[in-house]
Amino acid sequence: MELHEMVLEAAEVVRKIADIKPEVGIILGTGLGMLGDKIEAVARISYGDIPHFPTSTVDTHAGELILGRLAGKNVVALSGRFHRYEGYSLQQVTFPVRVAKALGVHTLIVSNAAGGMNPQFQAGDLMVITDHINLMGDNPLIGPNDDALGPRFPDMSEPYARTLIDLAEAAALKSGIRLQRGVYVAVTGPCLETRAEYRFLRFIGADAVGMSTVPEVIVAVHAGLRVLGFSAITDECLPDALEAANIEKIIAVANAAEPKLSALVLECLQGMDA
Ligand code: HPA
């Protein structure tokens, strides 16, 4: 079965459960988890009930697609994300983005937790992603191109819509939230980086590093979606002053950043034209 047929089958099942046309897709990554509770949900569909959706082999409850209203927009939220380091292929990781597009979204909002390499950044800061570097050594578009879904050689001159970056900066100003801007580099993980790797990643032009987002953004751009991306900076990754990574602390900082990031995304949604 071709990819676009799998996407249509999945979208069809979702549409039968709730026939609303979402305008904006939101991947509830780290830092946006609680936004799911703010949606006036019309339907919450477990990933396991949608054909071809990736599901967790260890936790059958992991992942649901939420359709509803948020900040005056029809949205589809993807709660539960899959990472390359868990063993999923990038085609699996990005399948939900394809389905969001098939349901009708024109815009995708993504978030992640990331290590800050720009020395101006502090743990707890938020960053709007202005561009990215794909260092995963993999690409979700490898393989035969399904022309029904997008072009063979998608343009990447502006993966993050400048108008949405401007919108995010205006929203941050209005809400009194400090917002950094910068380049996100994606690596596979699951190791954190060595000092030499952080030095290299900073040198090649990245401000923040993480293990997600870029595959989903590549597929979104391939599908013709506008993208708005945020990183919650969870730790300071300065090669010459590096402390041992503390995963509990990283998660705590990400959770502490959640109210700020959720408020910012709500403000952005409100300010978005239809
Ligand atoms: N590296 C990769 N991913 C991360 C980091 C990091 O330092 N911090 C949070 N996510």
For 256-268, write each residue's pLDDT tens digit.
999 999 999 999 9
pTM: 0.95
Question: CA-CA distance, 97 to 225, in Å (whole number)?
Answer: 10
- Residue-wise pLDDT tens digits, 152-206: 999 999 999 999 999 999 999 999 999 999 999 999 999 999 999 999 999 999 9
- 3-state SS of 41-92 is EEEEEEHHHCCCCCCCCCCCCCCEEEEEEECCEEEEEEECCCCHHHCCCHHH
Parallel, antiparallel or unpaired: strands 179-186 and 208-210: parallel
Give 246 Cα–ligand 1 centroid separation in angstroms.
Answer: 10
CA neighbours closer than 13 Å in the CB half-sphere of residue 20:
19
Q: Is 264 in the pocket of ligand 1 (CB under 6 A)?
A: no
Give the pair of three-digit tokens for residue 101. Answer: 């597009």
What's the structural domain count of the chain?
1
Secondary structure in 3-state letters for 116-160: ECCCCCCCCCEEEEEEEEECCCCCCCCCCCCCCCCCCCCCCCCCC
Q: Report how far ligand 1's centroid is from the alpha carbon of 139 (Å).
A: 20
Q: Is the per-residue pLDDT at 19 higher than 90? A: no
The answer, yes or no, to whether any atom of ligand 1 lies below 6 A from the CB of 234, is yes
Cβ–ligand 1 contact at 210 (below 6 Å):
yes
212 Cβ inside 6 Å of ligand 1? no
Residue 56, pLDDT > 80, answer no
Q: How many angstroms separate the alpha carbon of residue 253 from the centre of ligand 1? A: 12
- 81 vs 168: CA distance, rounded Å: 23
Q: Is 210 helix (H, G, I), strand (E, B) or coil?
A: strand
Half-sphere exposure of 236 (CA within 13 A, CB side): 13
CA–centroid distance, 262 to ligand 1, in Å, is 20
Ligand 1 midpoint to CA 221 (Å)? 24
Beta-strand relationship, 226-236 and 107-116? parallel
How far does the centroid of ligand 1 lie from the alpha carbon of residue 37, in Å? Answer: 26
Range of the domain at 26: 3-271
Residue nearest to atom 3 of ligand 1 (CA): 210
Q: Does residue 234 have a pLDDT over 80?
A: yes
Does 209 sit in the ligand 1 pocket, CB within 6 Å? yes
User: What pLDDT shows up at residue 246?
Assistant: 87
Task: Judge if the beta carbon of residue 220 lies within 6 A of ligand 1.
Answer: no
pLDDT over 80 at 104, yes or no: yes
Structure token pair of residue 168: 């995010």
Total H helices, total E strands in the chain: 7, 9
CATH of the domain at 104: 3.40.50.1580
Closest CA to 257 of 182, 178, 190, 183: 178
* pLDDT beyond 90 at 61: no
Please give the pLDDT value at position 273.
82
Furthest-apart CA atoms within the chain: distance in Å: 55
* Ligand 1 pocket check for 237: Cβ under 6 Å: yes
Q: Is the CB of 257 under 6 A from ligand 1?
A: no
Q: Is 213 in the pocket of ligand 1 (CB under 6 A)?
A: no
